[in-house]
Structure formats: C-alpha cells, structure tokens
Structure 1
Amino acid sequence: MTLERRKLRRSIPILNDLDSYLYQDIKRVFVFGRNSDCVIFITNNDHVYSYGRNNCGCLGIGNDYDNQDLIVEPQKIHRLCGRKIVEFSAGRNHILARSKNGKIFACGSNEFGQLALPLDDYAGSSINIPQQIQSLRNEHIIGIACGAFHSLALTKRGIIYGWGFNFWGQLGLGDNHNRFAPTILRQLQHENIVEIACGQHHSVALSRKGHLFTWGHNAYGQLGIGERINYRNIPTKVIDGNDFIIKQVTCGQNHVLAVSVDGQLLGFGSNYYGQLGTGSRRNESLPVRICLDEKINDILASPFSNTSLARTKKKRNSLVFGKCGDHWLLTPIDTKIIDDNDESINHHRKQQQSSSNSSNSIISLDENNNPLLLRTNFLLEQQKSPTMKKNKSNSHEIFANINQSTAHTTKVVRSNYHHHQNLFWQILYLMKSKLPKIKQHSTTTTTKTFDNDDDHMDQTSGHLNQNRKHFSNGMNKLLNHHRI
C-alpha cells in the first residue's frame, strides 16, 4: 500500500523531527515496535536509515550503540544500503529485510533462533548488524512474516520455511521444538502457497487455489478450527477454496481476517476489542462472515495490534473496527481522516460543541447500547457534513493515525506529478510543454509586416509578457503542489 507524502507527517508523528532533506527523499517507510518507537526508511538513492528504540540491536546500526539506546538521529544501516530492500517485517525484538532479488537479512534478538543464523556463532545472542541468512541464499524469497519470536519465509516456488520459537507449534512442523535454522514446512510444500502472515504466536498461509491454512496458538480461536485446544502444531485447512475462494489474508495479534474473491469479509479469533467487527465481543472459533453493505477489496492488521481495517472496492475511505485508542469499535465504521488545520473542520467542531457540549465523536455502541466516544487527533464520522472537506484516505494512513505504526513496509508517493520526482526535471518538463506554442508564435510574428516599428514593438512586447505570465502561473501551480 501507499502513503502520500503530503500526509506523511500527519499520519506518522515520529517523522515530524526528521531533517527536511531526508524527509523529502523517503521512498519507503516502516514503523514498528511495541510502542511504535522504531523507524526504518529507504531513500530514493537506496540508502537505508533507522532510528528509535534499539532493543537488542534491532535497528541494525552496529556496535557504536548500546542495545537499549534511544537513537534520536537517523543512522545508516550500511549493510543494507544499495541492496534494493523492498520489504521489512518485525517481531518483538528482531527484524527481517527482503531485497528485490529475493535475499533475506536479519538482526536483533536471536534468543529462540528467530534470526536463522549459525548456531555456533550466534546462539542466544543479539545481532546489531544485519546478516544475510546464508541457508536461504539459493532460494528466491518473495514474502516474509514475523510473529513475536518466530519467522516465516515464502519462496518463489510456493514453499514455506520457518524458524525460531515453536512452543505453540507456530512453525507447523508437527512438534514444539525451537528451530535455529530455516526448516521446510513439508505438509504444505505441494500446495503452491502465495501468501503468508503471522499473528503473535500463530501462522496463516493462503494457497493459489484459495485454500486457507492455520497453525500455532489457539487459546482465542485464532486458528478457526472450531476446537477448544490451546495449540495445533500442524497446518489445518480452515477454508476450502473449492467452496469459498480466499484472495487475501492478514493477522492481528490473536485474530485473522480474510477476503474472498467476491468481496466478502470473514474473521475468527479474539474479539475482545471488537476486532472481528461482528457487533459483539464474543470470540469466534470458526470463520464468520462480517455483514457489510459494500464489497471489500483489501484488509490490514498487525501482529501486535487489535485494530482491523478493510477497504471497499471503491478504494476511497476505509472501514475501521477493534481497538481505537482507549475505545473499542464493535462494528466497522466508515472513516474519513480530516486535517486538524482545515478551517472547515474547526467550524464543524464548534457546531458539534454547541450542540452536544463535547468535542468527542460518537463512533460505536457498547453491549448495553451506550455510546462510545473517541478523543484522537482526527475525526471518525458516520455521517457526511456539508462543512467537511472531502478527503481521500487509505488503510495505511488510518492505521498509522490509530497505532502510530505502518504495519507493513509502505511506499511513499507524491499526490501529483509523481512521475517527475525531481523539481528540476518538472520545470524542464513544463518548459518543453510550452516550447511548441512559443515557437509557433515566433514564426507567425516574423512573417507579419508592420507599417510602424512602434506597433511591431508593442505587439511583440505584449506577446512576450503574455508568455511570461502564462509560464509564471504554471510555475506557481507546480511549486504549490510540492509544499508539504
């Protein structure tokens, strides 16, 4: 998914103190950590930076910093610079990075083997410089996923490798022993897996035929198998693609969401905060359909969050449900993110305060039909207001506003002129677009004859002034588009 650059500071406050030069150069960003206090971003020249809480050396910046240091200024991750990194995934205290050519790098805590580094050299230690996982160097990895203390990788051939903490069977290997090296999940090696996801201690896989498999911790029903058992250490088919084809899956901390090819939304697992969107707080041990008026296009959750998001096929605003700040949304709410500096919003707030003597927005009802109120830096509105500015948003923007994290590696784009990222080339492009008109005007004026030289000078001057004014207006519009 993507975030527009002009909305980046608003969506991710931790970027507010970033140097303006680096901020303008961000190409991808990943915000993670229990308190969303860790940031990794990639610039346009393929340099990788990180800053924030350096637990167990998970920022990958080397020996010059203690593992528990709070890194205030962005530092280069030299080992990842120039590697064309396209994806990050984070566990409790470890990260994985995937390059465009399918290589994986890991750093942070290796207490349970979640870095898949050689046992003799790195067993139980922390690594503060990313190391390539050599045992997977001959595989082309297309997907990575981290639970709290375990890791999964998906190859181009549709095979899953797992390593790390396996107390709940979250590696799906048929036992509960930790793994310090990538191990093939053989039960699914012929299923042609196309997508993987991890919750805190459970794992999910989606096959090309639309079959959905789960394994690992099941105390809240997050495996969707309908049995009251604490865990299952082998993959179980929860949804058969021959009956109901699934096209996308995502995991929250202890719940799972899935979308079918016809736009239906399903969920199962923990529902304490309403993260299944069923209107109650009852956990679901079997997949349940979440009744919505519109068809769903994609979904978003995070292994360390109890917030769920779903975007409709219209791809405008997103539906949010689950934990939202200090409150719980038991049913999906259509959201619009509104800029706090917008005068129309300030006017709307004044109207709201005068009518209800409160600056809160009623967004959901609890089990006793009492209104739940939300105090945040943005408004979630159920009804359209004529005073409100219409504003497009996406799932990542809403997720970042609620949780201060991006959940996944997010691509940063410009809202306009994004095909010409450098300002110099944009100016040149604008000049070239005007050259034919100027050239045509020049040829026509030279062929004309004038009885008086003063008339010639007046008319030529008038045309030149008109061209200057036209070019100046274009330049002003261009520069206004790039003001953050």
Structure 2
Amino acid sequence: MTLERSKLRRSIPMLNDLDSYLYEDIRRVFVFGRNNDSVIFITRNDHVYSYGRNNCGYLGIGNHQNNNGDLIIEPQKIHQLCGRKIQEFSAGRNHLLARSKTGKIYCCGSNEFGQLGINEEINIPKQIESLSNEFIIGIACGAFHSLALTKRGQLFGWGFNFWGQLGLGDNHNRFQPTLLRRLKRENIVEIACGQHHSVALTRSGHLFTWGHNAFGQLGIGHHNHPNDKQLNYCNIPTKVIDGNDFRIKQVTCGQNHVLALSIDGQMLGFGSNYYGQLGTGSRRNQFKPIPIYTQDKINDILTSPFSNTSLARTRKKRNSLVFGKCGDHWLLTPIDTKIIDDNEQSPSSHSIISKDENNNPISNPIMTNHYLMDNNSSMLTKKKNKSNSHEIFAEINQSTAHTTKVVRRFNHTNLFWQVLYLMKSKLPKIKYHHRSTTTNDNDDDNDDGRMGQNRNIEPKWSVEKSNNHHSNHNNHLRI
C-alpha cells in the first residue's frame, strides 16, 4: 500500500493546498469521508494531523470552533495520537478507529449505535479500554459498525447490528467489543467490512461472511431453502468458500460487493454488480461466488468499503486491471489501465488510459480529473510509467482505499547510482564521505529522488570488514 510522493497532489486534490513543509514530511496518509473530503496524515516525526470535513468530530481535533460538520481548512494536530506509532486508520460514516504499532485501538466520532466501543461520544481519540489486554493486528469499519482482529486470531465486533453484521446470532446493537464465539476456533488472519456486511478469512483459506445480503454480498445465495423467502441478511458467520476446495489468500470488500483471490491467482466476486464492479461483463448481481476471468493470473486485489470501483494487479504486467465505476463510466470487464504522466506536458496534464486484451485503446474514453482520453490522443505514444493499484484507485476516486504509505520516487537512470543508493540505505557499516561540491543543495532530500545527478560531486565509499583472525584491520573495499 504505497503512493509516490510526486503523485499525491495530482491524484488527491485535498492535498493541493497543504503547506509544502508538511507535504514533504508526510509518511502515511488516509483520505476518507462520503465525499472524500477528510484527511489524516502522519509525519516522519510521528505527529498526526487532520483537516477537512469533521462529521461528528471524527477528525479527533477536540472542541474546535467549526467542529459541527464544517470544513476545517488548516491541518490541526491530534495530540492524543502523536507519538503513538499509529499504523492504520479505518473510518465509517461518522466514526474513526486508529491502530497503533503496540496493538492498541483509539476511537472518536459518533457513537449513536455503539460503533466506538465505549460509553460516550467523543471528538478526541480515546483508547478502547475493554481491548487493552488484547494485541490488535487489524481493524475494519462498516458504515456504523466496527471489527477488530487480535494477534491470537480472535475477532471482536461492536456497533450497529440491524442486519446482523456483528455475527453474534441476533440483531441487537453492541456498545462494547464482543467476541464472535462462532469463529473462536477459527484462526482468522484477515477481516474486511462493506457498508453493512462483514467478511473474515482464516489461515486455512476458508472465507466467512455475515450481515446484509440484499445484493448477494454474502455469497450464500437467494434462499436458505427453495420454499423460503429471499434471504436479505444473515446474523451468523457462514462459510461461503471452503479452503480445502479453493484456498483463498486475500479478500476485500466494496460497498455492497466482495472480491476474493485464491493462492493460484484466480479472482472471485459476488454481490452488487450495478456498475460492473464484479467484472463479469454484465450488470447482474451475483448471489454466489463466480470466477472473474482475466488473461493473466492475479497477484493483488483492491477496493474500499464505500467504493464501487474494483482493481486487480496481475503477476506479469505492470499495469492494473480496473472494473466497475470509473468516473462517469462503468467498466463491465477488467480493463488494462495505466496512468500517463510526462514531464513534457503541462503540469496538469495527466490521465488514465485503458487498453483491451490486445493492447488496443478501448473505444469508450475514461473520465479523468481534467479531460477525456480517447484513442486518437497523442498521449498513446508517451512513455509508460509503472503505477500500482493504489495509485490508480487514488486517481479515479481522489481518495485512498486504506491507510497508505508515502514513498519517495526511486527513478535513478544509472545503475551505478542505484547501487550506491541501496548500499547507503541498507548497509549499516557503510561510511559516506563527499568532497567539495559546486552546490550547497542536500543530495539526500531531492524531490525527484536522484542523488547527485547533473552535479559536480565525486562520492567516495568505504566498506569496513569485520575484525577477525582472518582479516587485517586495515583491509577495506573502496568504490
């Protein structure tokens, strides 16, 4: 889950007005909200900031003068999360969860249905004390419910339970984290939430679902029995895919659909298909898991709880496959897509183009932030850039699917500089010395990631060997 720093502002307009000193210091970023208008980011020195739409105080900035759902223009520091080594955020419609590296969960925002797991509604982050004895490794939020996965493979749920999305066998809301006893013997390794449904993946590759099923997002079919009425929900975890027959290694939830990936690279989907987000070639909802056929095997899948866009990453190709809602267009089958970006164009010139299985541009253009790309555009001859699924998702939805790590672009054109960069960053015993230069710029913090290109710099490296009876203490390697 990475995004290149140079592509952040292009893909996420919410970051355009951010001060440059904060922008360059971003280490992780999470863009969320119904209209993708709320932002939380973590800096290199572990300070946490938020700004944007502050629904029910879920930005965690406390008693701010404009915290009644108004727009917070300037980033505000979340003091309760600073220095906590936050690794992951997850957000519902009006609440937010944060998970630290030490396995603690913090919450803030609306608590109308108990989705915070505490007995109060707060606008500053507070630790969920009832889970303080558990080491949490994963969190997930639906619209009004929350899930937490422990290191021991146990699953806790709390919040809105009208559709049985907590999997507790009833439809009563919970205001405290409650253990899902029906999955207690299963070793859960991954969890995901849609708007009102939940999914769990076990270490053995079994896939369990529960909650709302009006669109088939549980994958358990229309009915329990032929004579029963339509099954709109299920409040107990149900095994929808048996890992002994078809082992699953990854699962992700959209708003009302589910994608699953097997260990052999086969992609499955079920649920709502109104926008073509299942990639079946039609808009018919699927109440049972069906295969999504692609030319190459899949290595990674991606969507988010409030999105109808689906993405898949192939094992061989650099580009991502996109299907579902893409701007003003609906892609009914997986389309090979890449981001086009060339320095010779104007600063705002960037787009997404899609190609079919024969590497030809698709006839219908895809809407982008600035203009339409069609098959007659001269952009087709531009140089291809490598882009991952999170970059494509951010480009289409102007938000991040999950908490995303921000990385500096690694674009060294010379293999010699690549080797030196890796040695400097990976080997602790390397000592770097540089002689006098013709510039005072810092080579380590260039925006484009180059080290000393087009500069009169003569680096000298020395690698010290460990002292033992076979080596001389003066023996060293020079490059």
Q: Which residue does 1:210 correspond to in 2?
A: 205
8 Å contact kept, 1:218–1:229: yes
Within the alignment, does 1:185 sit opposite 2:180 as a pair?
yes
Q: Where do 1:237-386 residues align within 5 Å?
A: 237-314=239-316, 316-339=318-341, 342-343=344-345, 372-377=364-369
Change (3 A) 1:316 1:381: farther
Q: Which residue does 1:87 correspond to in 2?
A: 88
Distance in 1 separating the partners of 2:341 and 2:25: 23
8 Å contact kept, 2:409–2:449: no
Q: Where do 1:388-407 residues align within 5 Å?
A: 388-407=382-401
- Supply the AA of the counterpart residue of 1:223: L
Change (3 A) 1:133 1:479: closer
Determine which of 189, 193, 208 is the counterpart of 1:194.
Answer: 189
8 Å contact kept, 1:344–1:387: no
**Post-superposition offset of 1:11:** 1.6
Per-residue deviation, residues 160-218 of structure 1 (Å, max 9, x unmatched): 00000000000000000000000000000111000000000000000000000000000
Consecutive aligned runs of 4 or more in structure 1 exceeding 2 Å deviation: 64-67, 339-349, 360-364, 370-375, 377-386, 416-419, 431-435, 471-483
Within the alignment, does 1:16 sit opposite 2:16 as a pair?
yes
**Post-superposition offset of 1:129:** 0.4
Distance in 1 separating the partners of 2:14 and 2:282: 34
Q: Which residue does 1:54 correspond to in 2?
A: 54
Within the alignment, does 1:112 sit opposite 2:110 as a pair?
no
Change (3 A) 1:37 1:345: closer
Indicate the SS of the match to 2:394.
helix
**Post-superposition offset of 1:391:** 0.4
Coordinate RMSD, CA, aligned = 3.2
**Post-superposition offset of 1:417:** 8.9
Distance in 2 separating the partners of 1:84 and 1:239: 36
Per-residue deviation, residues 400-453 of structure 1 (Å, max 9, x unmatched): 11111101000001123999xxxxx99xx9x96566xx8xxxxxxxxxxxxxxx
Of 61-70 and 76-85, more deviation after overlay is shown by: 61-70
Determine which of 130, 154, 167 is the counterpart of 1:135.
Answer: 130
Distance in 2 separating the partners of 1:205 and 1:348: 38
Per-residue deviation, residues 288-334 of structure 1 (Å, max 9, x unmatched): 10110111111111111100011111362111110111110001111
8 Å contact kept, 1:32–1:38: yes
8 Å contact kept, 1:160–1:193: yes
**Post-superposition offset of 1:393:** 0.5
Change (3 A) 1:477 1:194: closer
Change (3 A) 1:129 1:282: same
Change (3 A) 1:329 1:340: farther
Change (3 A) 1:479 1:64: closer
Structure in which a larger fraction of residues adopt helix: 1
Within the alignment, does 1:163 sit opposite 2:165 as a pair?
no
Change (3 A) 1:106 1:158: same
Change (3 A) 1:4 1:136: same
Distance in 1 separating the partners of 2:291 and 2:104: 38
Q: Where do 1:432-471 residues align within 5 Å?
A: 433=432
- Supply the AA of the counterpart residue of 2:154: I
Q: Which residue does 1:68 correspond to in 2?
A: 69
Distance in 1 separating the partners of 2:290 and 2:342: 37
**Post-superposition offset of 1:479:** 4.0
Change (3 A) 1:174 1:50: same
Indicate the SS of the match to 1:157.
coil
8 Å contact kept, 1:335–1:380: no
Indicate the SS of the match to 1:237.
strand
Per-residue deviation, residues 231-262 of structure 1 (Å, max 9, x unmatched): 00000000000011100000000000000000
8 Å contact kept, 1:90–1:96: yes
Change (3 A) 1:347 1:301: closer
Distance in 2 separating the partners of 1:100 and 1:380: 42
Distance in 2 separating the partners of 1:180 and 1:318: 40
**Post-superposition offset of 1:376:** 1.2
Name the % identity. Answer: 74
Change (3 A) 1:346 1:417: closer
Structure 2 residue runs without a partner (length 5+): 223-229, 357-361, 413-417, 419-423, 451-479
**Post-superposition offset of 1:287:** 0.4
Indicate the SS of the match to 2:396.
helix
Higher Rg: 1
8 Å contact kept, 1:335–1:381: no
TM-score calculated relative to the size of structure 1: 0.81
